[in-house]
Structure 1
Amino acid sequence: MTDAPASPTTRTALVTGASSGIGEAIARELAAAGLFVAVHGRNAERTSAVAASIEEQGGRAVPLVADLSAGPDEVRTLATAATEQLGGHVDVLVNNAGVYPGGPTESLSDDTVDALLATNIRAPHVLVAALAPSMVEHGGGHIVNIGSWMARVGVPFMALYPATKAAVEQLTRAWAAEYGHRGIRVVTVAPGATATPGNADSADVLAAMTEGTPAGRPVQPEDIARAVRWVVSDEAAFVTGGTIDVDGGIASTRMR
């Protein structure tokens, strides 16, 4: 990993859940756009491998390992480590890490409920509380929350996960109002049914889910990553407080 600190003019980003899937694609896209990226993950080997690969391709990255469900203190430690490793400032926070267990409501264990709430809602809240004041001090920044098309669609046997993503959309609206006049833009990017390594065994299900959408195929992690890169660019300077659907039309259209 690079030992050279970021210069005051180098834009930096912390991407949570970036050791694979959507988060990895976002980390790679932001690094390719010139940002110095802190790659967060729970698995040290996979996280380090992603950061090393980014650097091999000419980008700048550092791995950070933390369990976001472990408690708020560990999340705050992650925020501190990211700030230190990125040269004293985090300009872009991408709250991507999430867990998505499903099943009948009555069979969802207390531990599973705790993990959903801690990872999908509490961790983003703690990170914003820890990092937003420094963003303001450095002249502004960007917060991108990764949502889900399921936040606005009722799906059987998947009640709590979409509810956490609906909460994320509301946090986006509230944070945009809270921090907007201080130079921070906040946006939700909501993927549709996305093909990732974590759901590779459900490829047939994803294909069936998306066959009748305008796109006709599952979302790819790179589709989400490109949207995030645009959101944190100057081209999106007037975009804040809302949700950008990158879902192939699955949440808003019916083909048959």
Structure 2
Amino acid sequence: MLMLSAASGDPISGYTYSGHYIEFWHALHRYHRQFVRAFEYGGLSTAITFAVAYPAAYWIAFHGGRHKAGYLFLLLLPFFVTFVIRTLAWQFILSDQGIVLGTLKHWGLLPQSAHVLSTAPAVIGGLVYNRLPYYVMPLFVALEKIDRRLLRAAEDLYASPLQGFLRVVLPLSMPGIFAGFLLVFITNTGDYVNAEILGGPGTLMVGNIINNNFFVDQDYPMAAALSTLLLLAMLLIIALYARAFGTESIQDYAAS
């Protein structure tokens, strides 16, 4: 991929390695807005996913009882359907005359001109929905490993439930928080399906540009340059995680 980004030619006559990596500068200069948007959507959707996933994982781990496996199965059940089909279903739900907007417009709660598709909230909402289990599962593993005797000890030392959570549960669940962050943020930042189906021209991310350059324009050097830049950014994030928490936690969650 790195060599292709420094190649010249076309799909018909073929590509030859030129050794000039000017394509990286062209990629950043031409598509910097899509790069920024990918990280904006990726960061915001990851934060929202965490806000939904942590309470869900906490409740299953601490209050699920003997039905924990059943709750996790219900959470994963919609994801037995393929990624594209799930996203297309949300396109139908969020359409101008769909179940949600059509009903609200019928009741007079929204103007007839209101729409959600082709907007940033639609894309971010799709990212949150499609990546929710990726955050719940590592959080559940981390919370499930917490020794409940620590919480009882905190109660014996007159810690309030909030203090017990902040000083015991939250710190011990940090590896799960950051493992889920890696899974969700990396996949959301490189995603192109949600922006393609739920978004519009103003919500395109770098993944859409890579896809278009490769399959539509057949500008393989540009697609390779964009892919390399995105890959380097993701490797930097993984390196920062490994430096902060080590690689053992990643291996533990992969094994779980």
Q: TM-score, normalised by structure 1?
A: 0.24
Which protein shows a greater Rg?
Answer: 2
- Which gives a bigger RCO, structure 1 or 2 (Cα 8 Å, sep 6+)? 2
